[in-house]
Structure 1
Amino acid sequence: MLDVKGLRVSYGEAVALRGVDLRVEPGSVVSLVGSNGAGKSTLVKALMGMQPISGGTVTFDGDDITGRPATDRPALGIALVPEGRRLFKDMSVRDNLLIGLHHPVARRRASGALDEVYELFPILGRRPRQLAGTLSGGEQQMVALGRALISRPSLLVLDEPSLGLAPIVVREVFATIERVTAAGVTVLLAEQNMQKALELSDRGYVLADGTVVLEDTGAALLKSDSVRKAYLGDR
């Protein structure tokens, strides 16, 4: 589905990504994990066409999409849940969800999709007119997920979905993501909470200083002594 080879990104003379290789198979959950500044969000932005690429290739469903603009992603079937959710807090839940259908191609394949989002997240179906800004952090993340899913993407990309949330809300958010993956959606997840992300993932990539330093199944990475000592606080 998604195949990234030798991806490089620079900010002026500062190198942010140093030849990253990544693969996401259909129906899988893949995590990009690592500390702050490792390059996770830069990689997401590059994949979404929001950050210029200085080298390497990005292939999606066999098509080279390297350098294609972010506005092409909805038509390709790629949807993003951005860091910080970026909801319109003075707009209703329903209106925020419908923003996910702004692209004509997304609208054509989304007949009945609003009802599907409400089925996946029943609490949103009970509050369609409630202002998004009055929801809890976990509920707002459901709206952000629903806004992306309403276009029925082939690939859902999430950028730091638990960032800045209280632990109890983090658990709620990951339970929500688990419901999405159980529905068969292919997911690429960039996340600082390595424990939670890898528990959910078929495969994980550990980034450090813009480079993939480890790659394995989520379960194997959780058992890795080097991962546990460097990132999970084991002594």
Structure 2
Amino acid sequence: MSDPLKTAESNLLLQVKDLAFSYGRIEALRSISLQVAKGEVVAVVGANGAGKTTLLRILSALIPPRSGDVVVLGQQVQLASAHKLAQSGLLHIPEGRGTLQSLTVLDNLRIAYDIRPSAQSFDEALGEVYEKFPKLSERKDQLAGNLSGGEQQMLALARAMVNKPELLLLDEPSLGLSPLMVAEAYRTLRTLKGEGLSILLVEQNVKLALRFSDRAYVLRQGKIVRQGLSEELLQDPGFVNHYLGTH
């Protein structure tokens, strides 16, 4: 199936062609091809164990692919380090929030800023974070590991606000959160999306992901089995019945 995105390669922040990865004899990813353009939000949806988290770990150079071509922010992932990609503008918020548990809220934000300083000062960036998340201001001297799950998700998203990445990889942002905190997390993500941030989102919550993203890929047992514009997928009764559990 052809990719619905038609764009010049120079506008692509992420391009994956025929990516494969195995854990021993178990094929985790099989011939994966996808792309994300500047200013675009793309979702990868699928059940637990479909290979979504493995995909993000490869894209951020945490594990090497078995085969295939992966280019992130103009760099071949096989030749890049996670730190170099982060300095170039990649921010990966893994499942479980990815905060530095033994450091304070303020230190977590400082490190996120120092990896990729911007024209905006740290104090200015911090002011924006505290305006958006007043609770983080109250908790700034507390260890991240002592925060609630919802507060840790706030901190994870606040890292994106101060880091100002070119491309955000986001793994299961709704996992383990109350409906209220999920709504708050996605309000923040919509703000970042409105500011032009490019996002690759991994979610088990298919409907939530499709309502937020521009396009989506469906991953099943390590293989992309469906892709298209998110709005069109949501309006497809066959897709809804099959993937949203109404059939």
5 Å matches for 1:165-184?
Answer: 165-184=177-196
1:39 corresponds to 2:39: no
Moved over 6 A (4+): none
Aligned to 2:91: 79
Separation in 2, partners of 1:45, 1:225: 33
Aligned to 1:159: 171
1:90 positional shift: 5.1
Contact 1:110 / 1:152 at 8 angstroms: preserved in 2? no
Separation in 2, partners of 1:39, 1:9: 9
Aligned to 2:4: none
The one-letter code matched in structure 2 to 1:16 is A
The one-letter code matched in structure 2 to 1:78 is L
5 Å matches for 1:100-179?
Answer: 100-101=112-113, 103=115, 106-107=116-117, 111-112=121-122, 113-125=125-137, 127-179=139-191
Aligned to 1:20: 32
Aligned to 2:64: 52
Separation in 1, partners of 2:230, 2:135: 30
Per-residue Cα deviation, 1:87-121 (whole angstroms, up to 9, x for no partner):
24454321121221453xx2466633333433444
Q: Percent identity, please.
A: 44
Of 18, 38, 41, the residue aligned with 1:6 is: 18
State which drifts further: 144-153 or 1-10.
Answer: 144-153
Contiguous gaps of at least 5 residues in structure 1: none
Contact 1:81 / 1:159 at 8 angstroms: preserved in 2? yes
Separation in 1, partners of 2:113, 2:86: 9
Separation in 2, partners of 1:170, 1:164: 9
State which drifts further: 15-24 or 170-179.
Answer: 170-179
1:204 corresponds to 2:216: yes
Contact 1:57 / 1:64 at 8 angstroms: preserved in 2? yes
Aligned residues, how many?
Answer: 233
The one-letter code matched in structure 1 to 2:96 is G
Contact 1:53 / 1:67 at 8 angstroms: preserved in 2? no
1:130 positional shift: 4.1
Contiguous gaps of at least 5 residues in structure 2: 1-12
Cα RMSD for the two superposed structures: 2.1
1:210 positional shift: 0.7
The one-letter code matched in structure 2 to 1:55 is S
With over 3 angstroms needed to count, the CA separation of the structure-2 counterparts of 1:151 and 1:222, relative to structure 1, is same
Please state whether the residue corresponding to 1:66 is helix, strand or coil.
helix
Of 179, 192, 201, the residue aligned with 2:204 is: 192
Contact 2:64 / 2:78 at 8 angstroms: preserved in 1? no
Aligned to 1:95: 107
